[in-house]
Amino acid sequence: MVAQFRMTPDILSDAVWRQVFSEIEAEVPAMRASIQSVFAACEAIRGQMDVKTGSISTASATALYALVRHVKPRTVFEIGTFIGKSTLSMAKAMDAAGIDGTIFTCDGSNAFLVPVQETKAKIVGYPKTMSTEALRQVADTGAKIDFMHLDGRMNDEDMEIIAQIADPRVVVAIDDFEAAEKGVINFARMRKHPFFAKHVLVNPPRTTLCRELDFISTSTTAVMAPLTSFAFVAQPFW
């Protein structure tokens, strides 16, 4: 008989989010001020968007920042640019991590009007371009994706391209992971694909954790991470 020690997504979630948030503890005051500035600049262009949708909360932006700060990706692919809140949050995190990388970001409905910010990260926008075509263009550059942020619906063709151009250890942040929203649908699609067979789900940070950390909002950002990114350690990280 082989004993099993079962780990639920909720238990795993608490451990992961506590670690990534603890890693940016010293940066929180400056990071919050930076995100507030980014959000103000992004909101100023909302009226210029052809299709006006929702955008990420400050808690989700913080979660995304913390994830990118932890993973330290060099090549990011994002579905759903809109007004650029998530794009710039990731760029700021790459700067903080000392990463001189690239963010490829597409939006199927809107022009690319992300406010200019001082960031070392190169941001390549694909305006009014659906994810499949954007992925094809990224593939043509020869880039290898090691982090993704999904704030738009994926399809089966997307999955096939991702399997070709993403690092097997790619970490995926999934927005709107609640009820029957697109994040849950995207997760279900990824879960069925062999490429993500060895990835595990990390649920969004619980509301109680968000309150504990003095967030003024909650986050709907979930994560799919490869099993190889988890390790047993002798000491706690907080």
Q: Domain extents for the chain?
A: 10-48+56-227
Question: Given this model, what pLDDT does residue 92 score?
Answer: 95
At residue 224, the 3 state secondary structure works out as: strand
On whether the CB atoms of residues 151 and 86 are closer than 8 A, the answer is: yes
At residue 57, the 3 state secondary structure works out as: coil
Separation between Cα atoms, residue 115 and residue 90, nearest integer Å: 14
pLDDT digits (tens, 9 = 90+) for 176-235: 999 989 999 999 999 999 999 999 999 999 988 888 888 888 999 999 999 999 988 877
pLDDT digits (tens, 9 = 90+) for 85-130: 999 999 999 999 999 999 999 999 999 999 987 889 999 999 999 9
> Domain 10-48+56-227 classified CATH 3.40.50.300?
no
